[in-house]
């Protein structure tokens, strides 16, 4: 459920009630995220699922639908920061302090516990800066931005989203000793800060900072009367999708890789929606955030009993994220042990091209494993939610 009346929710309501539509949407994208990570760990495919020269439609769409995850998750993190601020009697200075501490904590988790969830390598020969890294640093930047008026935060966020593709032609190699910084903020790249130590910038920061800042400004709509809020969500969602279609059709700006006519109409459509994620292009964000707005509209408009289990996942997002990685990784090792022995412990599951040619499962089996993972995760998340409710320790708010 979301706010059940048509009245504008007061700050006191926000203190005592979560906005269930937000939890439901967050839970949905987290479940889709599990699908993507199960595919990464268990696939028998040795090429990118979005490579139109090799893929098939079910495999492409299995990967494509999970594009919704990171933009929605980071956008809602910004919304949550705003709601956290207005639901508690605190100054912006205290909110900034919270965002900085939580952001740096997320960066630490990314480089330690989460990193080992992806790959068991105690030598740290390879480390990746992923989505939690991006969320953490975006929170740190947001801590600086929240002192600005909400309209200015929104403008800055939108400028970062809309304008960053103007700099696609700039590459780290062109910037000499400062190339590493450009990689951190705008270009996916392998860095070698120390001999034999690779640091992979998977999620460059600039567009994600804009997504979180825009989400923070967007949080203000949850103070509006429900009917108007629903109308706004609907028109925003449709407007973003229409903007995507128009700009993508022009094939001039908004994504570094233009769409092309393929051998048949179906694959031409796939080319049209196959947008660049690392970093997320303007068109990628229009497409995914537009869908997120429409889903939020649906979840706000009606109580969907079938989706109620998603609410639990959406209420414990960081716990879910950490546990799901370790669960998937351990399961992959257990299933690989009979065939590959103890070598399975250090196999690079997420780098499919480095895996043995005979490793992996087909797409139907991937979906079966995904469902099993979700079933196992539900009681674990339920236990943690109850533990957190019954043990209100301050440190638990960072999980």
Q: Is the pLDDT of residue 99 over 60?
A: yes
Other C-beta atoms lying within 10 Å of the C-beta of residue 133: 26
- Confirm if 303 and 310 have CB atoms less than 8 A apart: no
* pLDDT tens digits for range 249-274: 999 999 999 999 999 999 999 999 99
* Least confident segment among 49-58, 226-235, 303-312, 321-330: 303-312
Identify the pLDDT of residue 323.
97
- Confirm if 251 and 259 have CB atoms less than 8 A apart: yes
Q: Is the pLDDT of residue 7 over 70?
A: no
Identify the pLDDT of residue 39.
98
Q: Is the pLDDT of residue 3 over 50?
A: no
Looking at residues 339-353, what average pLDDT do you find? 92
Q: Is the pLDDT of residue 8 over 90?
A: no
* Least confident segment among 7-16, 96-105, 302-311: 7-16
* pLDDT tens digits for range 199-211: 999 999 999 999 9
Q: Identify the band that residue 337 occupies on the pLDDT scale cut at 50, 70 and 90.
A: very high
C-alpha pair distances (Å), 62 with each of 53, 104, 120: 17, 32, 26
Q: Is the pLDDT of residue 179 over 70?
A: yes
Rounded CA-CA distance 89/217 in Å is: 19
Q: Is the pLDDT of residue 2 over 70?
A: no
- Confirm if 78 and 154 have CB atoms less than 8 A apart: no
Nearest in space to 381 (alpha carbons), one of 331, 299, 305, 309: 309
| DSSP states along 197-209 | EEEEE-S-SHHHH
Identify the pLDDT of residue 17.
58
- Confirm if 153 and 213 have CB atoms less than 8 A apart: yes
Q: What is the mean pLDDT of the chain?
A: 93
C-alpha pair distances (Å), 146 with each of 54, 224, 379: 46, 20, 37
Q: Is the pLDDT of residue 388 over 90?
A: no
Identify the pLDDT of residue 4.
36
């Amino acid at each position: 459920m979301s706010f059940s009346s048509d009245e504008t929710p007061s700050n006191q309501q926000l203190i005592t009630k979560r906005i269930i539509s937000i939890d439901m949407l967050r839970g949905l994208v987290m479940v889709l995220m599990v699908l993507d990570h199960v595919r990464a760990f268990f696939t028998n495919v040795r090429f990118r699922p979005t490579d139109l020269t090799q893929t098939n439609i079910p495999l492409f769409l299995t990967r494509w639908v999970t594009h919704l995850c990171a933009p929605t998750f980071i956008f809602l993190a910004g919304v949550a920061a705003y709601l956290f601020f207005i639901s508690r009697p605190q100054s912006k200075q205290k909110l900034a302090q919270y965002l900085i501490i939580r952001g740096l904590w997320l960066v630490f988790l990314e480089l330690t516990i989460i990193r080992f969830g992806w790959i068991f390598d105690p030598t740290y020969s390879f480390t990746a800066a992923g989505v939690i890294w991006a969320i953490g640093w975006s929170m740190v930047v947001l801590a600086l931005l929240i002192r600005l008026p909400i309209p200015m935060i929104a403008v800055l966020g939108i400028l970062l989203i809309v304008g960053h593709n103007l700099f696609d032609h700039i590459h780290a190699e062109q910037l000499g000793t400062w190339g590493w910084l450009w990689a951190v903020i705008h270009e996916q790249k392998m860095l070698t800060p120390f001999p034999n130590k690779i640091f992979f910038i998977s999620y460059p920061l600039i567009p994600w900072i804009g997504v979180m800042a825009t989400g923070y400004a967007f949080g203000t709509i949850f103070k509006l009367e429900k009917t108007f809020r629903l109308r706004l969500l609907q028109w925003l969602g449709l407007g973003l999708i229409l903007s995507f279609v128009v700009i993508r059709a022009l094939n001039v700006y908004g994504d570094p890789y233009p769409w092309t006519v393929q051998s048949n109409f179906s694959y031409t459509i796939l080319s049209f929606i196959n947008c660049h994620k690392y970093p997320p292009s303007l068109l990628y964000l229009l497409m995914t955030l537009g869908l997120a707005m429409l889903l939020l509209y649906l979840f706000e408009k009606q109580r969907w009993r079938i989706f109620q289990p998603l609410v639990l996942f959406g209420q414990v997002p960081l716990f879910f994220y950490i546990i799901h990685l370790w669960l998937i990784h351990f399961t992959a090792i257990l299933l690989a042990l009979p065939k590959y022995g103890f070598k399975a412990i250090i196999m690079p599951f997420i780098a499919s091209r480095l895996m043995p040619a005979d490793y992996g499962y087909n797409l139907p089996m991937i979906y079966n494993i995904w469902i099993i993972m979700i079933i196992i995760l539900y009681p674990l998340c339920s236990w943690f939610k109850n533990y957190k409710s019954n043990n209100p320790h301050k440190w638990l708010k960072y999980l």
